[in-house]
Structure 1
Amino acid sequence: MPHLTPPTNDTIYLSNLTLTTTIAPGDVWSRAGKPTPVILSLRLLLPSQDLARPGHSDNVEHTISYGTLAKEVTKAIAARGSFASLREFAEHVSLASLVLAGRKDVAVETRSVLPEGLLLAEGVGVEMRLVGDPKMMSELANAVLFVDRLRVACVVGVNSHERLQKQWVVINLRLWQFPEEMWTTYPAAMKVVVDTVEQSEFLTIETLATEIARVMCVQFAVERITVAVEKPSALTFAKGSGVEVTRSRRFFVQE
């Protein structure tokens, strides 16, 4: 969907930089210590009109070189070698970027994706935002764990032909507040989600999305989650149609 307001920051960014490292809990089969690809996108958010000087001077020394940024991030990842979680990886990248910027008025946003992180999903990853002033840093409260395009087959739909056989649904998850151990135990949680969806026979994807949220909140103590469920084959002339819900653990406890 389009952004309806103009940005207020000047930005230097890297898009889909591919790196290789070791991140727990491991590769697509959760084998510990196996190197895995990581796709990193990074945005340095600068004050408004901060790039006016290099824009006028045409001098690369008056800006933060995106080439240097890519090299420093790659070097920092290689020097570390391995990471205890996706969160630790994202924090390391963010701090290396802020060190290079060397300023307190800069923030960094990162999106780190493991394309081989889950067997049935296109990716699992973390989105994080950190600011350059240490006094303003929270304890990574702005770190979000997400799962992209988890594909599962199930019976779902109100039409008679939809009750005859399973069809694919595509699930996207964003975990906003959750126990710390979820950073390394997400494969087990996703297995429960897959099993739940495969065994379900709901009429609506609204109910299916709610049931997925219930599983994550009740069984895995997730405090807040957004669940999107899409049916790619529901409409002939649309690539997909679906619903998205955001639920809290409190919502299900009060039922």
Structure 2
Amino acid sequence: MDVNTVFLKDMPFMLSVGKDAWNRENKPQPVSITLRVNNVKSIHDVAASDDISQSLDYGKLYKNIQSKLGNPGGHDCLSDIAKQVLAAVEVPETSSSVEVVFPKAALRAEGGLRSIVNWDKDRDVTNVYQTLQILGIKCACVIGVNPHERREKQIVVVNLTFRSTSNTKEATAVEIALDNYHEIIEMVVKFIEGSSYQTVETLANLLCKQITMQWDISEAEVSVEKPYAIPSIGAAGVCIRRRRSFYEKTGFWKVKVQQQSQQS
């Protein structure tokens, strides 16, 4: 299958949207935006003719985006930014994606927030798929089976991923996470730093349970890394993806929570 994509990568802005790292409203913060426009027919035409007049004008596209986002204020939410970027694309019948990164959105999430919105056009229907990631939440806890791991707390790094589609009338996982990401991060830190499990598998599953059940989120993905587990590699860890219904139907996780409470 032939694929033609035009992209503008890492466009920097200072925008006011949601809350900043200090939980303050209406404070401009750094934002990095990447736009990808797929199935652009002009790429094939320009390649055949080497005629720049038939190409998608990257400079004009960037200026259109700057015009849409030039005002630091007035953005309702992260999704609103993605929609304004898409509105600047004057190419019909294309599928596009917008990645929006807030590198300093939260004090305890060193990787910040990362949102990707994909618009997939299929004839007369446009399907919207959205992903939100909270990256680089660092916590210290007792985790592992080795004697030295039981004596000292070690750093673990947590990444959270939420996914949604446009085919629902209920509040989506992404919308709930966007509205509550400061509180979710705070819960993650308190939960992990008060824990003492032997395996990251148990830690990741119980953390996923807390997130999906406490905030009524239909599905979440949790990655837990141990950077110091094996000195010669970057990190060891696990990544799980679970639906809330998994924990609602499985009594095992209730037992594990009770055991943790008794150990605390």
1:13-47 CA distance string (max 9 Å, x none): 122111111111x2111110100111111111015
Structure 1 residue 64 and structure 2 residue 56: aligned? yes
Count of matched residue positions in the alignment of Structure 1 and Structure 2: 241
Contact 1:179 1:221 in 2 (8 A): no
- Residues 39, 113 of structure 1: 8 Å contact kept: yes
Structure 1 residues 86 and 134: alpha-carbon distance in aligned structure 2, compared to 1, 3 A threshold: farther
> What is the CA–CA distance in structure 1 between the aligned matches of 2:239 and 2:112, rounded to whole Å?
19
Residue in 2 aligned with 1:115? 103
Identity score, percent: 28
The structure with more radius of gyration: 2
**Counterparts of 2:95 and 2:180 in 1: how far apart (Å)?**
29
Q: Does the CA contact (< 8 Å) of 1:42 and 1:110 recur in 2?
A: yes
Q: CA deviation at 1:168?
A: 0.9
AA matched with 1:21: L
1:14 equivalenced with 2:14 (yes/no): no
TM-score, normalised relative to structure 1: 0.88
Q: Distance in 2 between matches of 1:133 and 1:77?
A: 28
For residues 112-155 of structure 1, what are the alpha-carbon distances to aligned partners after superposition, in whole Å with 9 as ceiling and x for unaligned?
Answer: 110011111111121101146794224x4x11111112111111
Q: TM-score, normalised by structure 2?
A: 0.85
Instruction: Give the letter aligned to residue 129 of structure 1.
Output: N
Instruction: Return the match for 1:152 from 139, 142, 145.
Output: 139
Query: Mapping of 1:86-105 within 5 angstroms?
Result: 86-97=78-89, 100-101=90-91, 103-104=92-93
* Distance in 1 separating the partners of 2:98 and 2:236: 28
Structure 2 counterpart of 1:137, one-letter code: T
SS state of the match for residue 51, structure 1? helix
Q: Which amino acid aligns with 1:127?
A: I
Distance 1:80 1:170 in 2: 32
Rounded to whole Å, the distance in 1 between the matches of 2:218 and 2:185 is 16
8 Å Cα contact 1:39/1:114 also seen in 2: yes
- Gaps (5+ residues) in structure 2? 165-172, 251-264
Instruction: Name the counterpart of 2:258.
Output: none
Once the 2 structures are TM-superposed, how far is the Cα of residue 79 of structure 1 from its aligned partner? Answer: 4.6
Q: 1:182 to 1:239 in 2, by over 3 A?
A: closer
Q: Which runs of 5+ in 1 are unaligned?
A: 1-6
Residue 50 of structure 1 and its aligned partner are, at CA, apart by 4.8
- Name the CA distance, whole Å, in 1 between partners of 2:224 and 2:48: 47
Indicate which of 228, 238, 259 corresponds to 1:233.
228
**Deviation by residue 1:170-227 (Cα, 9 ceiling, x = unmatched):** 1111112417343222111111111111111111111111111111110011111111
